[in-house]
Amino acid sequence: MKNEENFMQEAIELSIKNVRSGAGGPFGAVVVKDGKIIARAVNTVTRDNDPSAHAEVNAIREACRVLGSFQLSGCDLYTSCEPCPMCLGAIYWARPDKVFYANTKKDAAEINFDDDFIYQELAKPMQERKLKFVQLGRVDALKAFEEWRLKGDRVEY
């Protein structure tokens, strides 16, 4: 447990430093493998003009770069705040063993990071969402899927 607390402390310190540096929101994350931190990251949305640059996504990208893999099996993710739906999705695609978090999404909502709207939208059928979705061109698009299905040397993920 002691180690886990130390790893989380590192994520929290990153989140505090990030408020002071102004790179983005008050969030930090680290990825741990075999008892060692292999990636450290903060939220850089506003510094990098990248709405996907949340601490968790940045940490996942960096850990994958370090490992030369698109999977984080055998790794744990420590994040200073409960992940938003985008980060959760990225986490599921990266497949770490476990996720540790500190602040909750309710804490985040109280400082105006309201992921709740996104959670609600995702749970709705497309036609009931506030954001408009239009389907177009499926017959042509299916050709890519058919070609993928038949491709002998495809790399699955």
Measured distance CA(87)–CA(157) in Å, rounded? 18
23 SS3 class: coil
Q: Is 121 in the site for a copy of itself (CB under 8 A)?
A: yes
Question: Residues with Cβ < 8 Å from 60, sequence gap 6 or more?
Answer: 31, 39, 72, 77, 90, 91, 94
Q: Which residue has the tokens 């899927």?
A: 145
Residues that are catalytic = 56
Beta bridge partners of 36: 33
Compute the least distance from the CB of residue 36 to a copy of itself, in Å.
Answer: 18
Q: Helix crossing, 55-67 with 2-21: angle to 10°?
A: 120
21 near a copy of itself, judged by CB under 8 A: no
- When the beta carbons of 25 and 40 are compared against a copy of itself, the nearer one is 25
Of 74 and 118, nearer to a copy of itself (C-beta) is 118
Q: Which of residues 42-101 bind a copy of itself (CB under 8 A)?
A: 45-46, 48-52, 57, 60-61, 64-65, 67-72, 78, 80-82, 84-101
Question: How far, in Å, CA of 47 to CA of 21, rounded?
Answer: 10
Task: State yes or no: residue 148 binds a copy of itself (CB under 8 A).
Answer: yes
Q: Kindly state the smallest distance separating residue 34's Cβ from a copy of itself, in Å.
A: 18
Q: How far is the CB of 75 from a copy of itself (least distance, A)?
A: 12
Question: Would you count residue 25 as binding a copy of itself (CB under 8 A)?
Answer: yes
Beta carbons of 1 and 8 less than 8 angstroms apart: no
**Closest CB 35 distance from a copy of itself, rounded Å:** 16
